[in-house]
Amino acid sequence: MKGALLGFLLPAGPAAQAGSHDARLLGMGVAVAALLVIVFVATTGGGRALRVLAQVGRTAHRTRSLTPEKIIGYKGPARVEETPDLISHRIVERSEQIRRALAARPSETEVTMCAMGYSACADDLLFLSQSVDQRAPTSGPIRRFRMRRAVRRATGSLTHARKALPAHTRPGPLGADAQEGRS
């Protein structure tokens, strides 16, 4: 076994028997050095390099197999169903962020951004109301109570956010629209 393993490095014929001891020692040194290099590469990160090369090959194959039909037909990860509680929670969270931002002496740009955020919350509140109206007939009494509570919580939070907005940025009859009518 030992002779077969090192046969490619050390000549095994009769001429090798006649060779010097130095040539055999040199062959053994080369074999040990090659073995050490292989062990070093395998233990320190050469394995990672080989894995990266294999992954690049797989990625290249996937890229070549990509077609426009596959792109159009792709179904992304399933989205979480937007329940009234989840929508209400989002509205409450954003309206509290609006109030905190307005309490910290914001610049005119920040006030405008808060007004835009308020508008997005109002749109979500309309969607929440429509969603509750659609689900209410098929829901039980406890679920209807929870949905109404979610709408009340979102409405109350949005009302507080609207009060925190400066009068000239408020949407609706008490805000900028009313002031434009006076001028």
For residues 70 and 58, give the distance between their C-alpha atoms in angstroms, rounded to a whole number.
17
Domain spans of the chain, in order of start:
21-72, 84-172
| pLDDT of res. 69 | 74
Estimate the share of the chain in helix, then strand, then coil, as percent rounded to the nearest 5.
80, 0, 20
What's the pLDDT tens digit per position in 5-20?
A: 555 555 555 555 555 7
**Tokens 């009340």 sit at which residue?**
152
Choose among 122, 123, 121, 144: nearest CA to 133.
144
What's the pLDDT tens digit per position in 103-145?
A: 988 889 999 999 999 999 999 999 999 999 999 999 999 999 9
For residues 128 and 154, give the distance between their C-alpha atoms in angstroms, rounded to a whole number.
9
The predicted model scores a pTM of 0.52
What's the pLDDT tens digit per position in 150-171?
A: 999 999 999 999 999 888 766 6
| pLDDT of res. 139 | 93
| pLDDT of res. 61 | 62
Residue 22 has pLDDT above 80, yes or no: no
H helix and E strand count, the chain: 9, 0
Confidence of residue 62 (pLDDT cuts 50, 70, 90): low
Which amino acid belongs to residue 20?
S
What's the pLDDT tens digit per position in 66-101?
A: 677 776 777 777 667 889 999 999 999 999 999 999
* 8 Å CB contact between 113 and 121: no
